[in-house]
Chains A and B, each alone.
Chain A
Amino acid sequence: MLKVENLEVNYGMIKAIKGISFSVEKGEVVALIGANGAGKTTVLHTITGLLSADAGRIEFDGKDITKTPAHKIVSMGMAHVPEGRRVFANLSVIQNLRMGAFTRKDKAEIEKNLEMVFARFPRLKERVNQLSGTLSGGEQQMLAMGRALMSNPQIILMDEPSMGLSPILVNEIFDIIGKVKADGTTVLLVEQNAKKALSISDRAYVLETGRIVLTGQASELLNNEEIKKAYLGE
């Protein structure tokens, strides 16, 4: 469903992504793991058009989206939960959620979607009118995920959803990712928490300084000695 071929991305003179290829099939959860500065965020930003590719090709649902501007991506069925949540701080929870459905016209379906998001994140329902900037970090993460779900996407790209959260909240967030998958939504998950990420993923790619150095079934990677040493701290 999502196919990236020989992607290269530069920041001026700095080569951040040095020709990577990977794919995500329908219904899969695929993890992209790597250390700080490996280029994970850059990859996601390039897929959704916030950055432009210097070389290579990105294909989604059979369509070439390499040059598609960011604002046209969401209506194609791809949502992006960006690094650092980036909720609209001066808008309330409900306004943020409705922002997620900005491009949709099907009023009745949007309301159903909203109910579904509230069912998934009861805490958001308790705080519908609270300004998002005053939510806790975990609540903001839920809001960012809920906002992405409001576009009723086929695939969600998530950038470090567990960042900065307490262990209990991390578990909660990963539970939710599991449920999103169970609903049939495809997920491309970027994480530094490799253990957690691998435990809920089908497959994974390991990114190191702009190159993919390893790939395989998540269960295999969990038992891979190199991975254990470098990413699982064992």
Chain B
Amino acid sequence: MLNFLTYLVNGISLGSIYAIIALGYTMVYGIAKMLNFAHGDVIMIGSYLIYTFMVTGGVNPLLSVLLAMVCCTVLGIVTEKVAYKPLRGASSSLAVLITAIGVSYLLQNLALLIFTANPKSFSPVITWEGISLFDGELRIQGVTIVTIITSLIVLVCLQLFINRTRQGQAMIAVSEDKGAAALMGINVNNTISLTFAIGSGLAAVAGALLCSAYPNLTPYTGAMPGIKAFVAAVLGGIGSIPGAMIGGLTLGVIESLSKRYISTQLADAIVFSILIIVLLVRPTGLLGKKIQEKV
């Protein structure tokens, strides 16, 4: 039983990381209507930045994460402006998808060039030991707790931002109808930039959490969590923020429990099978909504 609890909590923690990454996917999809396949690699870049600041530069961990967030935010805005914006309004949405894959390879190879393929091991950003319950029978690591709390804070802040601020309202309007949003006086380009900025900043946070839990950083570190988070976003209903959260948590818990009770090798296969089954039953994902358009 305690064993189950340990894996459940680990699953929730892993799922929280997926959720933070999935938020980036889902927000960008909701607003720019594109799948940003380079999103996972922004996590990797963020992690290398934290590594550089912390290990090479000797900056304090929290400050390193903040600096990495700022850098990733800029990276997100610049990629959008340079690579994706010129393709907005292109006749085929395939063009921007392929560009995103290109950006993904570019970032990976850039990291390969600068940091080489040798794994960098990360001294954990989070040094807290964690807590022990039931006379030490159940131990929950500090990283796990911090991860879960961080993702909760992120979700709450994001919801408040979107529902309570002008910029948040602008994001909702742009996600529904760019033209109508512009007629309301909303600067659509700036709103899209802001979305990329937030998504990329969150990717840096995800990088910090990921490398604290799995301290082994290579140029491909972001790829798998990126794909899993994409699955989480689709599972929850792409475009929906609570959906990304629920999708991420579901995925993390399933992955963790499958590893424990079924098979470590099969865990990923199980995760993807669940995606397929959910999409067969609910093509819009768990929280995705269908709106009937009135003619």
Contact = CB atoms under 8 A, between A and B. Distances in A.
Interface string A76-111: 000110101111111100010011101100000000
A199 B289 CA distance: 43
B295 interface: yes
B232 interface: no
B280 interface: no
Given A82-B180, A137-B294, A164-B295, A90 B172 contact: yes
A48 B183 contact: yes
A50 B186 CA distance: 12
A74 B185 contact: yes
Contacts of B166: 102
A66 B203 CA distance: 40
B172 A91 contact: yes
Contacts of B137: none
A201 interface: no
Contacts of B264: none
A178 interface: no
Q: By CB atoms of chain A within 10 A, which of B177, B179, B187, B295 has the most?
A: B179
Interface in B144-184: 166, 169-170, 172-173, 176-177, 179-180, 182-184
Interface residues of A, number: 35
Contact of A71 (B188, B292, B293): B188
A152 interface: no
Contacts of A72: 185
A151 B295 CA distance: 25
Given A88-B172, A89-B176, A90-B289, A140 B294 contact: yes
B133 interface: no
A70 B182 contact: yes
A87 B184 CA distance: 11
A48 B186 CA distance: 13
Contacts of A73: 183, 185
A133 interface: yes
A133 B292 CA distance: 7
B24 to A, nearest CB: 21
Given A86-B177, A89-B176, A90-B289, A137 B182 contact: no
A100 to B, nearest CB: 6
Nearest to A85: B294
B1 interface: no
B291 interface: yes
Interface residues of B, number: 22
Interface string B57-87: 0000000000000000000000000000000
Interface of A is mostly: loop
A74 B294 contact: no
Q: By CB atoms of chain B within 10 A, which of A80, A88, A95, A136 has the most?
A: A88
A137 B295 CA distance: 7
Contacts of B172: 88, 90-91
B173 A151 contact: no
A27 interface: no
Contact of A95 (B169, B186, B187): B169
Contacts of A19: none
B293 A89 contact: yes
A89 B291 contact: yes
Interface in A1-57: 48-50
Q: By CB atoms of chain A within 10 A, which of B179, B185, B289, B292 has the most?
A: B185
B184 A102 contact: yes
A129 interface: no
A75 B185 CA distance: 7
B210 to A, nearest CB: 32
B258 to A, nearest CB: 35
Contact of B179 (A70, A75, A79): A70
21 contacts: A49-B182, A69-B182, A70-B182, A71-B182, A71-B185, A74-B185, A75-B185, A82-B183, A86-B179, A86-B180, A88-B173, A88-B177, A88-B180, A89-B176, A91-B176, A98-B169, A133-B292, A135-B294, A140-B294, A147-B184, A164-B295
Interface of A: 48-50, 69-75, 79-80, 82, 84-91, 95, 98-100, 102-103, 133, 135-137, 140, 147, 151, 164
Given A91-B172, A103-B185, 16 more contacts: A48-B183, A71-B182, A71-B186, A72-B185, A74-B184, A74-B185, A84-B295, A85-B294, A89-B176, A90-B172, A98-B169, A99-B169, A102-B173, A137-B295, A140-B294, A151-B185
